[in-house]
């Protein structure tokens, strides 16, 4: 049903494209879902899994791994697509997405899925859990890093700002957080629900190393991950603010005004796949 690229010579562009394709195929299984988010965050996930992170696909609980904590559990479809592409979840399981007994439930559950480090769903918790993981790893003398992805809607949660404060207080330079600023949330445009800008100024004032990039520009995302990793030993947590476009890669989804949870007609899945196929990198 899908194609996982085997080998080390696969470009990051192709990894991101594969992640988008796996996600659309999973969406087709259910006829609906958080597909537009998977399309917007595919470049960040490709960079995390195929450029930045240390892990062993055949041993997802390897102690020396970097951790990836998905705070926004509704983005699980995006992370499954990355885990499939990374060879941590077998390709065939894609067809079970969201069904009873599947290891790929619609919201991320740590006990169900290899490579899923936390259970999400209740928003605003991932960054706090990441702070705890970072402290624990440092105490153990581990040099593993903790990556955590959260969404711009989660900036509305007080718990996120407590974690932002405590990560800086504890000088957690093993923490790399990524916030997906896709400018939408369930209740409408993100900044009309809660005015969280200017984000760079706020986060710098809280003591973080902050970068803001076009989250759909792979070169810029890669450079941001490299600079964040280089902060290790410098005493500051890193935040990558990724400005993304919901539905990226599928023009009729990019053009939709409301993309939080989409239902797509049966024939439209084929249109979405055809649109992706047109932009297929080598």
74 binds ligand TPP (CB under 6 A): yes
Residue 266, both tokens: 């049966």
* Region 195-234 residues binding Mg ion, contact defined as CB under 5 A: none
What secondary structure letter does DSSP report for 5? P
- Over its C-alpha atoms, the chain yields an Rg (Å, rounded) of 18
- Is 151 a residue that touches ligand TPP (CB under 6 A)? yes
DSSP-derived pairing of the beta strands 146-151 and 175-181? parallel
Quick one: which segment of 60-68, 78-86, 177-185, 209-217 binds ligand TPP (CB under 6 A)?
Answer: 177-185
Please report the beta strands in the chain, taking only residues with DSSP state E, as ranges in sequence order. 32-33, 67-70, 146-151, 175-181, 184-185, 188-189, 209-214, 238-243, 262-263
The tokens 């900036």 sit on which residue?
A: 155
- For residue 177, list its beta bridge partners: 148, 239
Closest CA to 26 of 109, 82, 88: 82
* 252 touches 278 (CB < 8 A): no
- Do 87 and 55 touch, CB atoms closer than 8 A? no
- Choosing among ligand TPP, Mg ion, none, which partner's interface includes residue 28 (Cβ < 5 to 8 Å by kind)? none
Does position 260 interact with ligand TPP (CB under 6 A)? The reply is yes
Beta carbon of residue 130, minimum distance to ligand TPP (angstroms, whole number): 17
Q: Which does 186 bind (CB under 5 to 8 A by kind): Mg ion, ligand TPP, none?
A: ligand TPP
Among 33, 153, 215, 237, binds ligand TPP (CB under 6 A): 153
- Residues in contact with 164: Cβ distance below 8 Å, sequence separation at least 6, in sequence order: 127, 203, 206, 208
| From 25-33, 48-56, 67-75, 178-186, span contacting Mg ion (CB under 5 A) | 178-186
Q: Which two tokens stand for residue 247?
A: 């539905």
Nearer to Mg ion, 86 or 181 (CB): 181
Which part of the chain contacts ligand TPP (CB under 6 A), choosing from 18-26, 184-192, 197-205, 209-217?
Answer: 184-192
Q: Distance between CA atoms of 191 and 274, rounded to whole angstroms? A: 33
Q: Are 67 and 147 in contact (CB under 8 A)?
A: yes
- What CA–CA distance (Å, rounded) separates 142 from 191? 38
Residue 237 makes contact with ligand TPP by CB under 6 A: no
- Total chain residues near Mg ion (CB under 5 A): 6
Residues of span 109-148 touching ligand TPP by CB under 6 A: 121-124
Decide: is 244 part of the binding site for ligand TPP (CB under 6 A). no
| Subset of 204-223 contacting ligand TPP (CB under 6 A) | none
Candidates 151, 174, 231, 244: give the one binding Mg ion (CB under 5 A).
151
Interface residue with Mg ion, options 113, 148, 185, 222 (CB under 5 A) = 185
Q: Which is nearer to ligand TPP, 119 or 151 (CB)?
A: 151
Which residues are at the interface with ligand TPP (CB under 6 A)?
34, 37, 72, 74, 121-124, 151-153, 182, 184-186, 190, 260
Which residues are at the interface with Mg ion (CB under 5 A)?
151-153, 182, 184-185
């Amino acid at each position: 049903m899908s194609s996982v690229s085997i080998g080390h010579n696969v470009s990051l562009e192709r990894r991101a494209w594969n992640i988008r394709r796996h996600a659309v195929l999973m969406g087709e299984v259910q006829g609906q879902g958080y597909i537009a988010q998977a399309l917007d965050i595919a470049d960040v996930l490709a960079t995390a899994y195929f450029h930045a992170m240390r892990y062993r696909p055949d041993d997802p609980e390897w102690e020396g791994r970097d951790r990836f904590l998905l705070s926004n559990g509704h983005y699980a479809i995006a992370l499954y697509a990355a885990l499939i592409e990374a060879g941590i979840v077998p390709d065939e399981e894609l067809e079970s997405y969201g069904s009873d007994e599947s290891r790929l439930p619609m919201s991320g559950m740590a006990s169900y899925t290899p490579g899923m480090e936390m259970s999400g769903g209740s928003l605003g918790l991932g960054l706090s859990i990441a702070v705890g993981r970072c402290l624990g790893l440092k105490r153990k003398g581990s040099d593993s890093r903790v990556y955590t992805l959260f969404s711009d809607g989660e900036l509305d949660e007080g718990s996120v700002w407590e974690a932002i404060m405590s990560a800086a207080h504890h000088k957690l330079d093993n923490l790399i957080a990524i916030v997906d600023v896709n400018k939408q949330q369930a209740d409408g445009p993100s900044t009309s629900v809660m005015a969280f800008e200017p984000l760079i100024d706020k986060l710098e004032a809280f003591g973080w190393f902050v970068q803001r990039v076009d989250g759909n520009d792979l070169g810029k995302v890669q450079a941001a991950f490299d600079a964040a990793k280089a902060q290790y030993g410098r005493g500051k947590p890193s935040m990558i603010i990724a400005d993304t476009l919901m539905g990226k890669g599928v023009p009729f989804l990019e053009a939709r005004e409301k993309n939080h949870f989409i239902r797509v007609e049966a024939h439209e899945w084929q249109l979405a796949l055809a649109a992706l196929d047109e932009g297929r990198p080598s």
